[in-house]
Amino acid sequence: MSQRVLTTESGAPVADNQNSATAGVGGPLLLQDQHLLEKLARFNRERIPERVVHARGSGAYGHFEVTDDVTDYTHADFLNTVGKRTEVFVRFSTVADNLGGADAVRDPRGFAVKFYTQEGNYDLVGNNTPVFFIKDPIKFPDFIHSQKRDPFTGKQEPDNVWDFWAHSPEATHQVTWLMGDRGIPASYRHMNGYGSHTYQWTNSRGEAYFVKYHFKTNQGIRCLSTEQAQEIAGKDPNSHQTDLLQAIERGVHPSWTLYVQLMPAAEAADYRFNPFDLTKVWPHKDYPLKRVGRLVLDRNPDNVFAEVEQAAFSPNNFVPGIGPSPDKMLQGRLFAYADAHRYRLGVNHTQLAVNAPKAVPGGAANYGRDGLMASNSQGRYAKNYEPNSYDGPVETGRPLSAPLPVSGHTGTHAAPQHTKDDDFFQAGELYRLMTEEEKRRLIANIAGGLSQVSRDDVIEKNLAHFHAADTEYGKRVEEAVRALRED
C-alpha cells in the first residue's frame, strides 16, 4: 500500500511539517499557515475535564459468559442461556487522586463493567469493596472534598480525611476494610469487584429478588504492604496500567467469576440488617453465593483517550430484568453519573463508540436530537416527535423491573434501622475475622494516618469508633497512635 499523504483537518495535503511558514527566512509567522494554526489550536483542546472522582483508570474489552442458570431470578436477556456471551468494556480506577496521581495507593478501586447487551447497555459501576463509607448521597460531595486535595494546600490532608470520618461513624466498617491488607491491591487483576449496592432482579413471572454482585478474581487476591506500595508508586506511578496492559498484550487474559447473593423481595423488611444500607454486607451464611458466569478481559483499547477517558458508565443504565433497589446512595448515583457525563463529555456522549449500545439491533432508537457534536442524523424520514404516524419507535408498556413498595411521609429521614443495625457491629466482625498478623498491620496503618492529625478531639472521636467496634481493636489503635505521637 502506498504511504498516505499528511493532510490538514479539511483533508488538504501538507507540504511541510517541520518548518512553519514565515515572512522571509528569519521573519515572523504567517497567519495563512493553516496547518500550524490547526496543530496549535487542537493541541490546546486535547484535554477534557477529568472525572471528579475515579480520575485515574485503565480499561479493557472482553466478554461475559453465563455458566449457570439464573432464569428463576431474572429475565435479563444476556443472562438467559448458559453459554451465552456478551461483549463488555471494563474500567478500573483509583478514587481519590487526580489524573496525575499514582496507582499503588491505599484507596478503594473502581470496578465498572459495561455489558453491551442486545437489550441495551447494562452498566454495573462497582468498587473492589463490598461496602462504602456513607449511606446517604447528600454526604458524598463533603466526603470526597475531605479525601481529595485540600483547596489551600493542594494535597490530601490527614486532618480532613479523619475529620470527616470522626463525624461519620457509619464509615467505620469501610475504614477497617481500607486500612486492612486489601486496602492496596497489587494490581487491578488481583482484586475482587463488587456491585456493593443492593439491586433488584425480576423474573419472567414478575417476582422480585434483591441481589448483590461479587466478581471474584481468578488470579487470586494479591495486595501490597504500605512500604511496598510507596516504593512501587515512586518507581512506576502507572503500575496498575502497566500490569493490565502487558498481561493482555502477552495473551494472559484476566478473568473473574461472577456470583450473586439473592434475597426474595418479601424478606427485605424483616432482615436483621437494613439490606439497602451500603455500609453493611449480607453475611454469606444468610444469603450464600450463587455462581452466574465468567468475565474475561482479552483486548486492550487502541486509544486510551477515546475509549477509556471518554468511557461513560451510569448506574442508571439498566436492562429489562434488572433495576434499582431503594438504597438511597444508589438512588443518588442514578442522577449523578449521566449528569457528570453531560458536563464532561457532552449530551451526545452516548454516540461515542465505547458508549454506544452497539449490540442493540439498529442501535438506540428515540426522538432525542441535536446538541453539541451530534453525529447521528437519523435520516430525512425519521420524525423527532412521538407519537407519530410514520412507524417511528414506540414504547413497550413493559417496565424494566418490578415496582418498589413505598410508605410514610416525605421528609429528610435517617436510614431505617433493622434489629441488628448499628454503625459498628459489622466493623467489629471484620476485625475479629482477621489473623493476628492482619490485625497488627491494620492497627499500624490506621495509627500511621491518625497520628498525623493535628487536633486531639478529632483523634478521640475516631478512637471512639474503633472502641465501639471492638474493645481490643480500639485499645490497640489508641496505644499505637499514642506511641507514634510521643515519638
Chosen residue from 116, 313, 318, 431 binding ligand HEM by CB under 6 A? 313
User: Of the residues 35, 63, 127, 462, which is catalytic?
Assistant: 127
DSSP tag of 395: -
Q: What is the spatial distance between Cα 450 and Cα 136, in angstroms, rounded to a whole number?
A: 25
- The number of angstroms, rounded, from the C-alpha of 318 to the middle of its chain's C-alpha atoms is 15
- Return the C-alpha cell found at 462: 475516631
8 Å CB contact between 321 and 77: yes
- The number of angstroms, rounded, from the C-alpha of 235 to the middle of its chain's C-alpha atoms is 26
- Return the C-alpha cell found at 417: 434501622
| Rounded least distance, CB 256 to ligand HEM, Å | 15
Residue 331 carries which side chain, given as an amino acid letter? Q
Residue 196 interacts with ligand HEM (CB under 6 A)? yes
Which x/- pattern, by CB under 6 A, does the window 320-349 give for ligand HEM? ---------x--xx--xx--xx--x-----
In the bound state, the residue with its beta carbon closest to ligand HEM is 110
- Phi, psi torsion values for 333, nearest 5 degrees: -70, -25
199 is in an annotated binding site: no
Which x/- pattern, by CB under 6 A, does the window 28-57 give for ligand HEM? -----------------------xxxx--x
127 catalytic, yes or no? yes
Residue 186 interacts with ligand HEM (CB under 6 A)? no
CA quadruple 187, 48, 315, 163: dihedral sign: positive
Q: Which residue has the cell 444476556?
A: 78
| Rounded least distance, CB 310 to ligand HEM, Å | 9
Q: Which is nearer to ligand HEM, 54 or 173 (CB)?
A: 54
Give how many residues touch ligand HEM by CB under 6 A: 27
Residue 390 carries which side chain, given as an amino acid letter? Y
Q: Which of residues 91-110 bind ligand HEM (CB under 6 A)?
A: 91, 93, 110
Which x/- pattern, by CB under 6 A, does the window 121-160 give for ligand HEM? ----xxx----x----x--x--------------------
Q: Which is nearer to ligand HEM, 75 or 114 (CB)?
A: 114
Which residues lie across from 299 on neighbouring strands? 61
- Alpha carbon distance, N-terminus to C-terminus of the chain: 70
Q: What is the spatial distance between Cα 276 and Cα 257, in angstroms, rounded to a whole number?
A: 24
284 catalytic, yes or no? no
Q: What is the spatial distance between Cα 97 and Cα 95, in angstroms, rounded to a whole number?
A: 6
Residue 295 carries which side chain, given as an amino acid letter? L
Residue 215 interacts with ligand HEM (CB under 6 A)? no
Chosen residue from 36, 60, 104, 112 binding ligand HEM by CB under 6 A? 112
Transcribe 453-470 into DSSP letters: -S-HHHHHHHHHHHHHH-
Binding region for heme: 337
Give me the residues that bind ligand HEM (CB under 6 A), please. Answer: 51-54, 57, 91, 93, 110, 112, 125-127, 132, 137, 140, 196, 311-313, 329, 332-333, 336-337, 340-341, 344
Enzyme catalytic residues: 54, 127
